[in-house]
Every structure is written in C-alpha cells, then in structure tokens.
Amino acid sequence: MDRRRFSESTARNRGPILAVLERVLAKDAKVLEVASGTGEHAMFVARAMSGVVWQPSDPDADSRASIAAWIAHEELTGVLPPLAIDVRLDDWGVGKTFDAIVAINMIHIAPREATPGLFRGARRLLRSGGVLLLYGPFKRDGTHTAPSNEAFDQWLKQRDPAFGVRDLGDVARVGEENGFALRETVEMPANNLTVVFAKS
C-alpha cells in the first residue's frame, strides 16, 4: 500500500519557499524540519539542493509514515528517516546540532505554547548564527493582511480555539526572549510570509 500523502498547498508554495531556502542556506546545510506533514517539502528541497541534509519530523504517526514512503519512493539519500518531535517538550530526542530549522505552516495550526517551544528547541539545537525559518500567514500590528487570512483565522479557531494566525510582532518578541533576531521578512504568494530568525 502506498502511504504517501499529497498536499495541494505544498504544490502551490514549494517553489517560492525553495527560492528563499536557496538564498538563505549553505549548499551543505544540515536542516531540521519541524511538522513536516506529508513530506513533500523535504523531497522537493532535496531534489533541488542535493548537498543539503534534511531531517524531517512530525508528531503524527500517519504523517511520519507518509514521509517514510516518500523517502523510499524518491530514493533520496539526503533525506533522513522522520523523527517524532513535539516542540512543546523540553527534550526533542535529538542529539545533534543543525544549521537551520524550518517550520512550514506550523505555528497557526498548533497551540500557542508551540511557538515558544519551537524557539526554545531552536536555541538548543541550532549552531551559533543558525537560522529558524517560518512560513505561513501572519497578522501585522494586530491586523490581518488580507480578508482571506481573517477568514482562515476564523476557520482555524472553529476547529480548535487554541489555533489561529499569530501576530508577527508577538512571534518576534518570543524570538528575542530566546536569543533570536528577526533577520528578514519575505512577502510570499497568497498573503503569506517567510520569516527568517537568526540565532545570536
């Protein structure tokens, strides 16, 4: 049975995200992806950036099965077997350091405590000067950047009141509390942002 999953949103946003990664990452970067979902981003980046070592992860067992199925299907040596990581935990069960941590469409589909947990984990696992890259919708100065994002925020909160589009200023403050500086904000298609934080 083919356990690969497919995401329409990944097909739409993977090109613009790759363009940022190609500019931000070294050609031989070691990357930890948090909440990898289907695993399609890992495959897409690994095909385009063959020198990068990509460590996917997801707390959901079915998502990890999809990632593993994609790895077997694509036969890409630069993508490692997926890990089970819950960013809210103090110990992610990872004993090595990374040049970058990537979280695509994660913090708005997770409880609020996932954001500080993500930064705490990044502080532990990133080398000095390493980057934490977030992609997704954000509010700016407490305001949605588009009506579609406001509608999406309402839909998320109907699914779970702990979910919701986060304010970039709030996220940046959490980053600062954990030793990260907001280095770059990149406008993306569909009213999303890619936000790059650097560890001091």
- How confident is the prediction along the chain (200 residues), in pLDDT tens digits per residue? 888 888 887 778 999 999 999 999 999 999 999 999 999 999 999 999 999 999 999 999 999 999 999 999 998 889 999 999 999 999 999 989 999 999 999 999 999 999 999 999 999 999 999 999 999 999 999 999 999 999 999 999 999 999 999 999 999 999 999 999 999 999 999 999 999 999 98
Q: Could you write out the DSSP letters of every residue in 65-121?
A: HHHHHHHHHHT-TTBPPPB---TTSS--S--S-EEEEEEES-GGGS-TTHHHHHHHH
| 37 in a structural domain | yes
| 2 in a structural domain | no
| 3 in a structural domain | no
| 1 in a structural domain | no
| 75 in a structural domain | yes
Domains in the chain: how many in total?
Answer: 1
| 78 in a structural domain | yes
Give the CATH number of the domain where residue 175 resides.
3.40.50.150
Residue-number span of the structural domain to which 94 is assigned: 8-199
